[in-house]
Structure 1
Amino acid sequence: MNIVVDSGNTFSKIGWFEGKKLIRYTTHLEFPELIRQIRAELPEYLLFSSVGRTNEEFQTALSEPVNIIGLTPETPLPILKNYETPQTLGADRIAAAAGANFLFPDEDILVIDMGTCITYDIVDTSATFQGGLISPGVRMRFGAMHTFTKRLPLVEPEKEPELIGKSTRQAMQSGVMNGTLAEIEGIIERYRHNYPSLRVVLCGGDAAFFESSLKPPIFAVPELVLIGLNRILTYNVSLQ
């Protein structure tokens, strides 16, 4: 059994794999609970990806004899990177691209990851990460309207709001949610000019708000980042 860890600034996500198969996963773990769960069932190999902690800090906290691979810009990958600033490339973006290429090899893929920010990334038929674009996520958009105005409330996202809002809250819901939907549809269409057979894969915490509204074929793979991290892990194990 292998374990992959996607550790954010506050919470972590952990996935247990048997070979290529995701057995189970847990989200929203604080660091002490993450360590406790790993100690309860030590894996053969573990990949640790973090935006806030180093691999050395993680190894010290775990203090168990586990083969740990830390995901850094220098970690060997099963896909290529055609990116001018690889040192600044987020681990989630490259992991999602690796996961998409694993699930749909030999295809041009647009990965849309809907988290704090929305990232749109291309991995092409040559298994090369070509880059993409980053835009504000839905909660960031709601938060910006509340923060930078005097009277607009802080609103939580809702699924499929009416296009014409009849109150301020409804108008904000429509502006963010329908505006984000229009953004996604427009960007997919523009990418398809360059990649006519483009496959679109949707992931991230806010994907559920939009997957039923997008025109098919859109493939929703909620745990794409974990799948990609495991693909990177198994690739590195094969190099040993």
Structure 2
Amino acid sequence: MNIVVDSGNTYSKVGWFEREKLIRYTTRLEFPELIKNIRAELPANILYSSVSRPVEEFEKALDLPVRIFHLSPEMPLPITKNYDTPQTLGADRIAAAAGANSLFPNEDLVVIDMGTCITYDLIDHNAVFQGGLISPGVRMRFKAMHSFTQRLPMVEPEAGPPLIGKSTRHAMQSGVMNGVLAEMEGIIERYRHKSPALRVVLCGGDSAFFESSLKPPIFAVPELVLIGLNRILTYNVSLQ
């Protein structure tokens, strides 16, 4: 069994894999809970990916005789990066790309990851990560309107608001949710001009708001980042 850890600034997500199959996963773990969950079932290998806590601290806290791999910009990958600044490329972006390529090999793909920011990344049929774009996420847009104005309220996202809002709150809902949908449709269409057979893979916490509104074929894979981390892990284990 392998374990992959996607550790953010506050919480971590852990996935347990038997080879390529995701057995289970746990989210919103604080660091002590993360260590406790891993200790409960000793894996053969661990891939640790973190934006905040160094791998040395994780290894010291875990203190187990298990191989720990650390996702860094220098780590060998099952895909190739065609990116001018690979040192700045986010781990979630490359993991989602590796996950999409493992699920849909030999295809041109655009991966849309809807988290704090929305990223649109192109992986071609030769398994080359070509880059993409980064846009403000859904909650970031609501927070910006609330923070940068004196009278606009803080609004939570809702799926499928009417295009024409009849109140300030509904107008904000429409502006963000329908605006993001229009953005996604437009960017997908531009990518498809470059590759008519393009497959769209959607992931991230806010993807559920939009997956039924986008024109098919759209493939929603909520745990794509964990799948990609496991693909990177198995690739590196095979190099040992």
**Which TM-score applies when normalising by structure 1?**
0.99
Please list, as runs of the form range in 1=range in 2, the aligned pairs for 1:142-161 lying within 5 A after superposition: 142-161=142-161
Do structure 1's residue 46 and structure 2's residue 19 form an aligned pair?
no
Aligned equivalents of 2:141, 2:9: Cα separation in 1: 20
Aligned equivalents of 2:14, 2:163: Cα separation in 1: 38
Aligned equivalents of 2:77, 2:58: Cα separation in 1: 21
1:11 Cα deviation after fit: 0.6
Do structure 1's residue 214 and structure 2's residue 214 form an aligned pair?
yes
Please list, as runs of the form range in 1=range in 2, the aligned pairs for 1:120-135 lying within 5 A after superposition: 120-135=120-135
What corresponds to 2:179 in structure 1? 179
1:53 Cα deviation after fit: 1.2
SS in 1 for 2:43: coil
SS in 1 for 2:215: coil
- Percent identity over the alignment is 80
Please list, as runs of the form range in 1=range in 2, the aligned pairs for 1:195-214 lying within 5 A after superposition: 195-214=195-214
What corresponds to 2:9 in structure 1? 9
**Which TM-score applies when normalising by structure 2?**
0.99
1:221 Cα deviation after fit: 0.2
Please list, as runs of the form range in 1=range in 2, the aligned pairs for 1:68-79 lying within 5 A after superposition: 68-79=68-79
What corresponds to 2:230 in structure 1? 230
Unaligned runs of 5+ in 2: none
Aligned equivalents of 1:236, 1:180: Cα separation in 2: 37
What corresponds to 1:90 in structure 2? 90
Unaligned runs of 5+ in 1: none
1:232 Cα deviation after fit: 0.1
Paired letter, 1:193: H
CA RMSD of aligned residues (A): 0.4
Aligned equivalents of 2:82, 2:137: Cα separation in 1: 25
1:149-185 deviation line (CA, Å, top 9, x unaligned): 0000000000100110000000000000000000000
1:196 Cα deviation after fit: 1.1
1:202 Cα deviation after fit: 0.1
1:61 Cα deviation after fit: 1.2
Shift >4 Å, 4+ stretches:
none
Aligned length: 240
